[in-house]
Amino acid sequence: MENKKIFIINGGQVFGHSGGRFNKTVFDKTQEFFNALEGFEIRATDINDDYDPAQEVENYVWADVIIYHTPIWWFQVPHGLKKYIDVVFTAGHQRGIYHSDGRSALNPAVNYGTGGMLHGKQYMVTSSWNAPATAFTLPGEFFNERSVDEGALFGFHRMNAFTGMTPLESIHFHDVEKNADIEGDLQRYHAHLTRVFSRELEVLSQFASTESDGSKLIAES
């Protein structure tokens, strides 16, 4: 059985008053989750460390699933993660991430955004906010009842769609500065990973059971 390849990116930036601790914790927990399981291979990049753009492109091409961890600063991803994306995706032009914007000179009005080279791959994003969850859901509150994925992260999702990837269910952590519940958030995240990857975990369990039964038959023969 071929292993599932997971590429994990920590976009939690150490800058100003932010130590990036929450996203680093989630990043570490993601690695722990998959390292504890057979049937998964992982690679990981922290945008605070030096990275080789060509190697990062290769990580995208290698992976079956990319997992992004990011805080939201002023309703966008931090500048370190944005720089990472700009540098790596530019390096990936005609080298595995995208070959063009998808249009042809014969009819440039259509097919924009269809030039990605990462079709068949998936991505997942976690985000952390000072804003409470109710700021997105209650009438009259700041985000006008628009979700994180449909609002602040709309462009982020279209960026990944441009490459050909499709989304897995996101998870968002709210009120992490003024009303933090780190233990509860991490428990919720573990449950989220288990649910999102439940199909893979079920297949791995069945595969392990089949191998065990086979070994038993050989031992008894």
Provide the pLDDT for residue 219.
56
Contacts by 99-107, CB closer than 8 A, 24 or more apart: 101/162
pLDDT of amino acid 16: 86
Instruction: Give the contacts of 25 (CB within 8 A, at least 6 positions apart).
Output: 182, 186
The pLDDT assigned to 24 comes to: 97
Q: Could you say which residues of the chain have pLDDT below 50?
A: none
Confidence (pLDDT) at 202: 86
Cβ–Cβ < 8 Å for 126, 170: yes
Q: Which domain holds residue 19?
A: 4-220
Dist. CA 198–CA 24, nearest whole Å = 24
Distances from the Cα of 175 to the Cαs of 8, 54, 99, 163, in angstroms? 24, 36, 40, 32
Q: Output the pTM of the full model.
A: 0.92
Q: What is the pLDDT of residue 199?
A: 84
Q: What is the CATH number of the domain that holds 137?
A: 3.40.50.360
Q: What is the largest CA-CA distance in the chain?
A: 71
pLDDT at 206: 79
Burial class (CB in 10 A: 0-12, 13-18, 19+), 161: middle
What is the structure's pLDDT at 212?
55
Q: What is the pLDDT of residue 215?
A: 54
Q: What is the pLDDT of residue 203?
A: 80
The total number of structural domains that make up the chain: 1
**Res 207: pLDDT:** 65
Which percentage of the chain shows pLDDT scores above 90? 87
The whole-chain average pLDDT of the chain stands at: 94
